[in-house]
Amino acid sequence: MPCPEIRFLGFERKRQPGQSIRDALDNDAGRDCCRKISIDIVDRLEEYTKQGYQLLAILGGNPMSPGCAIHCQDRHLLAHSGVFMKELQDELHKRHIEIPFKGIRDSDPEMFAQDIEWVRGIFSTGA
């Protein structure tokens, strides 16, 4: 998936002095950019399922990412999840597509190992 921060702010992630990347992304224009990316991604996911592929999970990276962090409870993203991930989940819900979201906590070796085991589990069971 494309990086929403780079798509919206450019490779240098240019923004106003003192403005965080999250604040630069979490506004009408930034959310609109994330929504457009989400629509494109979900269009592709629908095509994959039409071809017989099974969607196993949406994986997010850095837990502090303003765009792609995933923090879940009961299969719903929490408020401090990334702007892009929340837009992506909204688009999936609009189309009645259920797919789990999982944050990959790569900043902590023990948690990262747990997350990799979770990923291995969904690949081995297919659900």
| pLDDT at residue number 126 | 58
pTM of the model: 0.88
Of 22, 86, 99, 118, residue with least CA distance to 56: 99
What pLDDT score does 16 carry?
Answer: 92
Q: What is the mean pLDDT of residues 90-115?
A: 91
Mean pLDDT of the chain: 92
Cα separation of 92 and 8, whole Å? 21
Phi, psi (rounded to 5 degrees) for 79? -60, -35
Q: Is a pLDDT exceeding 90 seen at residue 107?
A: no
For 11-21, what is each residue's pLDDT tens digit?
999 999 999 99
pLDDT surpassing 70 at residue 28: yes
Residue 62's pLDDT is 81
Domain ranges, ordered by start, for the chain: 4-125
Backbone torsions φ then ψ of 126, nearest 5 degrees:
80, 15
Q: Is the pLDDT of residue 113 over 80?
A: yes
What would the pLDDT profile of 35-79 be if each residue is shown by its tens digit?
999 999 999 999 999 999 998 899 987 888 999 999 998 888 999
| Mean pLDDT of the 84-104 span | 94
Give the containing element (helix H, strand E) for 101: strand 101-103
pLDDT at 32: 97
